[in-house]
């Protein structure tokens, strides 16, 4: 591991300023992703700003009837919260489908949104990767791509966003609250938080340098039945080949987002209108224009079958 300096922040604006003004600086909270990347020298920060003391650890009701989740709420606490389990069950189920109990005890809400792709070529510093070293090429294109993206990818990168929690947040229309080095705050719709790779795959999100996530807010509960179906190579501690987050209403309408298929949680609202017609109709439109490889073209029928299983559960 390369040498780096460290500070423990006590003020969010000062923390944002420290990261914004110092090239190579990174935030650290639970460290469940960053420390792994540092060990492999995929990430080589020169300075770490620890935000664990900033106090963003509360889950509170909002005046609008929704929920405000502090950025430092752990995955374990969020999944176990009574309001989340009752009113936002898709979120609780998505979190419990990810990682292990030990990791969920450390992983934070903000950090979960910022985790980086698990593309094997990104993790291998001997291979070309535009996310790791812009302009070096993408070894995954023409390489082994079973785990990688089928839609929303580009000629620069075919990696996927690996998380589960964000897929549920996309179904719920969450907002991501931030603060920057000047004390300015903003709320970013989860739909626009993660970027498509296009020609800048090194930029995972729309966050500006130093911009710090302070909370995630949820609108009032949707009602209906909540599902999170995750298809993976083994029963635990594995990333999704395909996942489906869904909220299905009694009349068969609802919302659907897919994970494991794109650079961001993949939700096509126009396709949701076809839910009463069945899974084939939804996925045909949701994955229109998909460009799978020979290694991962199975993901398209797999997504259809996973959604069909969710719809069947809702009808049972």
State how far the Cα of 35 lies from the Cα of 100, in Å rounded to an integer: 16
Per-residue pLDDT of the chain (316 residues; tens, 9 = 90+): 689 999 999 999 999 999 999 999 999 999 999 999 999 999 999 999 999 999 999 999 999 999 999 999 999 999 999 999 999 999 999 999 998 899 999 999 999 999 999 999 999 999 999 999 999 999 999 999 999 999 999 999 999 999 999 999 999 999 999 999 999 999 999 999 999 999 999 999 999 999 999 999 999 999 999 999 999 999 888 899 999 999 999 999 999 999 999 999 999 999 999 999 999 999 999 999 999 999 999 999 999 999 999 999 999 9
Q: What angle do CA 229, 234, 236 make, to 5 degrees?
A: 70
pLDDT at 245: 98
Structure tokens at 240: 């999704």
CA–CA dist 283, 296 (Å, integer): 16
Is beta strand 25-28 parallel, antiparallel or unpaired with respect to 47-50? parallel
pLDDT at 1: 66
> Do 44 and 38 meet the contact criterion of CB atoms below 8 Å apart?
yes
CB atoms within 10 A of CB 44: 15
277 CB-near residues (< 8 Å, 6+ apart): none
List the strands of the sheet with 47-50, edge to edge. 5-8, 47-50, 25-28
The tens digit of pLDDT for each residue in 135-145 reads 999 999 999 99
Could you read off the pLDDT of 133-179 as tens digits, one per residue?
999 999 999 999 999 999 999 999 999 999 999 999 999 999 999 99
The tokens 């930029």 sit on which residue?
Answer: 203
């Amino acid at each position: 591991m390369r040498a780096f300096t460290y500070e423990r922040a006590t003020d969010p604006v000062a923390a944002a300023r420290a990261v914004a003004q110092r090239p190579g600086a990174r935030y650290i909270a639970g460290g469940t992703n960053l420390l792994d990347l540092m060990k492999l020298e995929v990430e080589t920060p020169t300075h770490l700003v620890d935000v664990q003391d900033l106090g963003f650890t509360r889950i509170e009701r909002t005046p609008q009837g929704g929920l405000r989740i502090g950025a430092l709420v752990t995955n374990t606490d969020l999944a176990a919260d009574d309001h989340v389990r009752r009113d936002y069950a898709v979120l609780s189920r998505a979190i419990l489908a990810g990682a292990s109990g030990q990791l969920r005890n450390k992983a934070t809400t903000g950090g979960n949104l910022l985790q980086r792709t698990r593309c094997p070529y990104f993790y291998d510093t001997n291979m070309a990767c535009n996310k790791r070293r812009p302009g070096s090429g993408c070894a995954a294109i023409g390489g082994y791509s079973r785990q990688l993206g089928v839609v929303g990818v580009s000629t620069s990168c075919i990696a996927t966003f690996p998380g589960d929690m964000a897929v549920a947040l996309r179904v719920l229309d969450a907002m991501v609250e931030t603060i920057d080095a000047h004390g300015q705050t903003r709320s970013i719709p989860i739909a626009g938080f993660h970027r498509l790779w296009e020609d800048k795959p090194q930029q995972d999100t729309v966050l500006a340098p130093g911009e710090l996530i302070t909370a995630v807010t949820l609108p009032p509960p949707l009602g209906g039945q909540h599902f999170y179906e995750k298809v993976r190579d083994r029963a635990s501690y594995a990333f999704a080949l395909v996942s489906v987050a869904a909220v299905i209403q009694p009349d068969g309408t609802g919302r659907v987002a897919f994970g494991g298929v794109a650079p961001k949680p993949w939700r096509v609202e126009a396709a949701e209108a076809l839910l009463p017609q069945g899974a084939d109709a939804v996925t045909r439109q949701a994955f229109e224009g998909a460009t799978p490889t020979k290694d991962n073209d199975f993901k398209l029928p797999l997504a259809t079958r996973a959604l069909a299983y969710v719809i069947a559960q809702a009808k049972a």
